[in-house]
A and B are shown apart, each in its own frame.
Chain A
Amino acid sequence: LAKTTQPISMDSYEGQEVNITCSHNNIATNDYITWYQQFPSQGPRFIIQGYKTKVTNEVASLFIPADRKSSTLSLPRVSLSDTAVYYCLVGRTGGASKIIFGSGTRLSIRP
């Protein structure tokens, strides 16, 4: 299983763009990168998933360099409601491998 490393916490202000970087040096060829968001007292919620280059959806963008040893989750123009814990996961799609969460990044947005 590829181990991931993220900052423990980050602070930002409303309206700013927030970038959270995740390191995964031993990512395997078949591994995808997935990000989840968790609000207090709720289960995690899927945000975005990608394999290489750039993926964008209505919530966020995911940037993955050519070597795939890291990835960056980008949240444009954050609001107070983006205050949450963000988890980066690396693993194969399909198959029977277990899915392990790390400690995540606690993002705090201030007015």
Chain B
Amino acid sequence: NAGVTQTPKFQVLKTGQSMTLQCAQDMNHEYMSWYRQDPGMGLRLIHYSVGAGITDQGEVPNGYNVSRSTTEDFPLRLLSAAPSQTSVYFCASQDRGLRTDTQYFGPGTRLTVL
């Protein structure tokens, strides 16, 4: 199993550009989520999904869109990049069983918006 994969690893954008961060998991997990982590800070939840076709907002959803057409993929789209979106983005998937609730994180995408 590859676990959770994210692409790209690094990205530099200019203000106003749009792009999609890719996330894929091969563990057949229903629950997936996107977090951002600013330097020296904790993780903040952007959007999450409890299954294909179902998404919901987290703590900081503004400026981001998500879709979940398959169980495996959960892309995050930046509509019009702003310098405030400079951050490291982590995707996670989760086995939400009745007795275990473990999230598996990808390696992250380091995004800089100029």
Interface residues of A (CB under 8 A from B): 32, 34, 36, 41-46, 49, 85, 87, 91-96, 98-104
Contacts and interface: CB of A to CB of B under 8 A. Distances in A.
Contacts of A103: 41-42
Contacts of A102: 42
Contact of A43 (B94, B101, B107): B107
B42 A87 contact: yes
Interface in B18-66: 33, 35, 41-45, 48, 50, 56, 58-59
A44 B98 CA distance: 22
Interface of B: 4, 33, 35, 41-45, 48, 50, 56, 58-59, 88, 90, 92, 94, 96-108
B29 to A, nearest CB: 12
Contacts of A46: 102-104
Contact of A99 (B45, B98, B107, B108): B45
Name A's interface SS. loop
Contacts of A34: 101-102
A102 B44 CA distance: 8
Contacts of B35: 101
Contact of B42 (A91, A95, A101): A101
Nearest to B92: A43
Contacts of A41: 88, 108
Given A87-B42, A95-B96, A98-B48, A42 B107 contact: yes
Contacts of B48: 98-99
A103 B40 CA distance: 9
A98 B103 contact: no
A62 B43 CA distance: 22
A94 B42 contact: no
A93 B97 CA distance: 6
Contacts of A87: 42-43
Given A44-B103, A49-B102, A91-B101, A96 B50 contact: yes
A100 B102 CA distance: 13
Contact of B43 (A42, A91, A92, A101): A101
Contacts of A42: 105, 107-108
